[in-house]
Amino acid sequence: MQEIKNKPLAIVKFLVFSIIGIVAFFVYIPIGGNSRLLIDHITQFMYGLFEPAAAVEQAAAGIQGPFFFINFYQFLVLAFCLIAIVWTFFVKKTFKRSVLDCVLAIFQVLGTVILLLLMFGWAPDFLGAQLIGPNVVYSMGRSIIMILATAFFVPLLLFHGLIDAIGILAKPLMRPIFKTPGLTAVVAASDLLANFSAAILGTNVLYKEGKLTYKESSIILTGFCSISIGLMLMFSQWLGLVDHFIFYFISATLVMCLVTAITVRIPPIRGMANTYYNDQPTEIAEDTVKGNRFKGAWVSGLKGADAAPSPVITIGKFLFMTVRVLAVMISSTIFVLSAGLLLNQFTPIFEWLGWIFYPIFALFGLIAPDLAADASVMATSSALSIVDVFAAVAYGRVYELSMASRYVLAAFPVTIIIFAGGYFTCLMATDFRIKVRHLLSLWLIRMVLSLIILCTIAVIFFR
């Protein structure tokens, strides 16, 4: 690796930017009587700027119909939808790139049309009745604010030495268990505390820089880009698991890691190519360090900080990519979520698909009868997760489920990773491409493995 040109400055850059990034994502800070992560304090402050009390009450009440002047969020979501259309059809013309990109472009247009119908109150009643009205737009607007806020801090974790240092320390864990470089531990951890989009964007950057192979990127993208701790907390509130949140969080995270450790050893991931983006690998610090890992981590962190460009540049580039990816994700997700919820309302397709998972709940029902009693609802929720994990939990929460079933319902969205809504559309908006059939097979494999493990835990702890 290169020599350190200015060691004092490198030390300052490494320590200052790393500390800011760590504090933003990993340290709870008490402000105004609330102890939250710094990134959470920032997003809550920004929410307050854009949420008049009347708008919040109306969105919370699920009021349908015209809401063109209700709040700021519908304009923000519309702006991102228009950015996606301009980028896809006029700037990069990505709709010409492949059949999949063309389909995604059509989803963007349809999603924008649905949003406009909702904003002007022209949407048919059956559309607004499926939670595709103000509530979803409100949630998407909040998501945009949160993801843009995290985009200011993710570059501090990725580009200024910290990822090089952590990679050396985490290599003995990540390589043998998950078959990825140690530096991916930073991406996986930031995902749980921020949002799966942050992990997807970060992995895309590392792949394009030649620090991860196609196979290693696929492992991270399909094994660790899970829902955030914030969404986990919301699910625990919905399902009456707040008193068990610590157990729920730790157990679901461990199951996610266990399932990932299994999937990296079986098809389709096992057979994926270990090739680099444009066949241009970049040497990573953890592969050059011998001897004392702590000393090697310190030196590598300084070298990474010394070679890094200005944070203004790294943050600016990452923000630009985030806006582009987020725009495509938001516009296409509106259509995917709308189509999935309408299919669930007017067809039995997810009930039929749920029969794949019904035997798992029935089997464990032999040990815990409450799981068997809830098997039909849980099977349909499991099938609905292919559309969106939010929709899956929202479907199951309206039923009187046992504690064991509620735990499984809250936990499998953490462990399955893959769903067609925000995850798939966010992934497809990046430069990384993974075959749809591989995503579908991984969703099915992860769902089956997750349900078997989670039902076992539920039987032991919640019978």
* pTM for this predicted structure: 0.84
pLDDT at residue 144 in the model: 87
pLDDT at residue 63 in the model: 47
pLDDT at residue 194 in the model: 63
Interval 373-394 mean pLDDT: 92
Decide which of 426 and 265 is more confident: 265
Residue 4: helix, strand or coil by DSSP?
coil
Residue 30: helix, strand or coil by DSSP?
strand
Q: Does residue 365 register a pLDDT over 80?
A: yes
Residue 188, CB half-sphere, CA atoms under 13 Å: how many?
Answer: 28
Q: Does residue 262 register a pLDDT over 50?
A: yes
- Work out the number of other CB atoms within 10 angstroms of the CB of residue 435: 12
pLDDT tens readout for residues 31-50: 877 777 788 888 888 888 87
Q: What are the backbone dihedrals phi and psi of residue 36, each rounded to the nearest 5 degrees, phi first?
A: -135, 165
- The residue written with tokens 């099938």 in the block is 383
C-alpha 449/C-alpha 44 separation (Å) is 36
Structure tokens at 239: 């399902």
Q: Does residue 461 register a pLDDT over 60?
A: yes
In angstroms, what CA-CA distances link 186 with 17, 321, 325?
14, 19, 21
Q: What are the backbone dihedrals phi and psi of residue 30, each rounded to the nearest 5 degrees, phi first?
A: -80, 120
| Residues above pLDDT 70, as percent of the chain | 92
Region of residue 258 (left: phi > 0; alpha: psi -120 to 50; beta: else) = alpha
DSSP string, 353-391: HHTTTHHHHHHHHTT-HHHHHTHHHHHHHHHHTTT-HHH
pLDDT tens readout for residues 199-219: 898 899 999 999 999 999 999
Structure tokens at 94: 């990505």
**Amino acid, res. 61:** A
291's CB contacts (< 8 A; 6+ apart) are none
Confidence class for position 58, pLDDT limits 50, 70, 90: low
pLDDT at residue 121 in the model: 76
C-alpha 362/C-alpha 376 separation (Å) is 9
Average per-residue pLDDT for the chain: 86
C-alpha 60/C-alpha 159 separation (Å) is 39
Confidence class for position 67, pLDDT limits 50, 70, 90: very low
pLDDT at residue 441 in the model: 97
32's CB contacts (< 8 A; 6+ apart) are none
| C-beta separation of 73 from 114 below 8 A | no
As a dihedral over the C-alpha atoms of residue 208, residue 76, residue 111, residue 87, rounded to 10 degrees, the angle is -40
pLDDT at residue 57 in the model: 52
